[in-house]
Amino acid sequence: MARKFLYVISVLIVLAIAAAFAYRIWGAQIIRWWAVPSAQFEPQPKVAANAYADAKMWIAHPGRRADPARWTPPGYAAAARPTAAVFYIHPTSLLGTQHWNAALDDAETNARAELFLRGQASAFNEVGVIWAPRYRQATFGAFLTNAAAANQALDLAYGDVVAAFDQFLKEAGHRPIILAGHSQGALHLTRLLRDRVAGTPLARRIVAAYVIGWPISRSTDLAALGLPECARADQAGCLLSWQSFAEPADPAMILDQYDLTTGLNGEPRRGTPMVCTNPLTGTPDAAAPATANLGTLVPSADLASATIIVGSVPARCDAQGFLLIGEPPTIGSYVLPGNNYHVYDYALFWANVRADAARRLTTFSGK
């Protein structure tokens, strides 16, 4: 019996090694097979014009008592009277394949979104009051296919974001504004910048836009967004963007899709450089050692808490516009194929993002 048990364990170990090897070699294909829905897209009506007047439609909102965006790690605290208004759009937290869009009352998806707020939006709670809407986000698999349903799902999600943003503007008053998003949230943020900010008086109220975890082409996208790329660490009214990879980096999964798309000016993105802001310096195309990292947010194994580790992760922008962070850091198990630390784009530099927002707000207020 013991021999049989050991035989089974040996087989399981071999299978685990084989699975890990397959993931390393065919990771992108495996993810596409697993994540892209086979169901038809389900058209849904737009949210009511006043839907976001209800605080229940927000994950973070000044009127909510339970607000994950006000969380801070030990040694930090949210400001009692912050100056700015922050509109934050969370990344994809729907991983299911039964539907192309999340239901607003999906408990598992909402719980995952709250984790993102604690790890990302919390970086801004020293300088701003945070609004973060629930929205019928597109599922993860929508980013891995060119099917028409994927674009329909993203359009539905963006409609919710626009409605939330319009309500945010009503409630934010005359505060200076910080815009932030990640991944799917950053994609929707680019559309907001183009549709609602570029060429309008609102652009003068923007302290900074953190368009993180989504490629922004300098040649085909930037001009349409209405804000310049941040050139200085203390510059206000500008845009930041980065995508984090440990080394050796293999960004083929990103580049394959990027090269197939058209920029906001109608020109192909293929081969065009991407905006890369080094969050350790607040400047483009820069390199900085780990000693410049004010603090990486490292979650506990059960994701119930997190601590700040100072000086552990360096960063440098490469020629393509990806942010390279050296050897793979020990921060969590959600690393994507190619040493892609996408999930940790904010957490890797949490304290630097916090300092960056405060610095840019000081400049804005001085104007």
Look at the chain and report how many structural domains it folds into. Answer: 1
* Three-class DSSP category at 85: strand
Distance from C-alpha of 295 to C-alpha of 308, rounded to nearest angstrom: 5
Residue with tokens 């660490």: 233
| In-domain check, residue 23 | no
Phi, psi dihedrals of residue 91, rounded to the nearest 5°: -75, 180
Binned at pLDDT 50, 70 and 90, residue 304 comes out as confident
Question: In the prediction, which pLDDT does 33 show?
Answer: 45
242, 200 in Cβ contact below 8 A?
no
* Three-class DSSP category at 340: strand
* Three-class DSSP category at 210: strand
Distances in Å between the alpha carbon of 317 and those of 72, 79, 224, 242, 286? 28, 32, 23, 9, 6
| In-domain check, residue 7 | no
Judged against a pLDDT cut of 50, whether residue 284 lies above it is answered with: yes
230: DSSP letter: P
Judged against a pLDDT cut of 70, whether residue 11 lies above it is answered with: no
Name 7's Cβ contacts closer than 8 Å, sequence gap at least 6: none
Average pLDDT, the chain: 89
| In-domain check, residue 2 | no
| In-domain check, residue 266 | yes
Element (DSSP H or E) covering residue 268: none
316, 289 in Cβ contact below 8 A?
no
| In-domain check, residue 8 | no
354, 342 in Cβ contact below 8 A?
no
263, 353 in Cβ contact below 8 A?
no
Q: In degrees, to the nearest 5, what angle opens at C-alpha 303 toward C-alphas 104 and 62?
A: 50
Question: In the prediction, which pLDDT does 236 show?
Answer: 98
Phi, psi dihedrals of residue 284, rounded to the nearest 5°: -80, 150
Residue with tokens 């994927």: 150
Judged against a pLDDT cut of 50, whether residue 257 lies above it is answered with: yes
Domain interval for residue 282: 29-366
pLDDT in tens, 105-162: 999 999 999 999 999 999 999 999 999 999 999 887 877 777 888 889 899 999 999 9
pLDDT in tens, 312-342: 999 999 999 999 999 999 998 889 889 999 9
Pick the closest to residue 263 from 275, 254, 272, 255 (CA basis): 272
Judged against a pLDDT cut of 50, whether residue 213 lies above it is answered with: yes
Question: How far is C-alpha 110 from the geometric centre of its chain's CA atoms?
Answer: 16
pLDDT in tens, 17-61: 333 433 444 445 545 545 676 777 788 999 998 999 999 999 999
Distances in Å between the alpha carbon of 264 and those of 124, 224, 327? 28, 6, 34
| In-domain check, residue 18 | no
Question: How far is C-alpha 266 from the geometric centre of its chain's CA atoms?
Answer: 25
Q: In degrees, to the nearest 5, what angle opens at C-alpha 16 toward C-alphas 15 and 19?
A: 85
| In-domain check, residue 272 | yes
pTM across the whole model = 0.90
Residue with tokens 């719980």: 111
Rounded to the nearest 10 degrees, the angle between the axes of helix 148-172 and helix 184-192 is 60
| In-domain check, residue 208 | yes
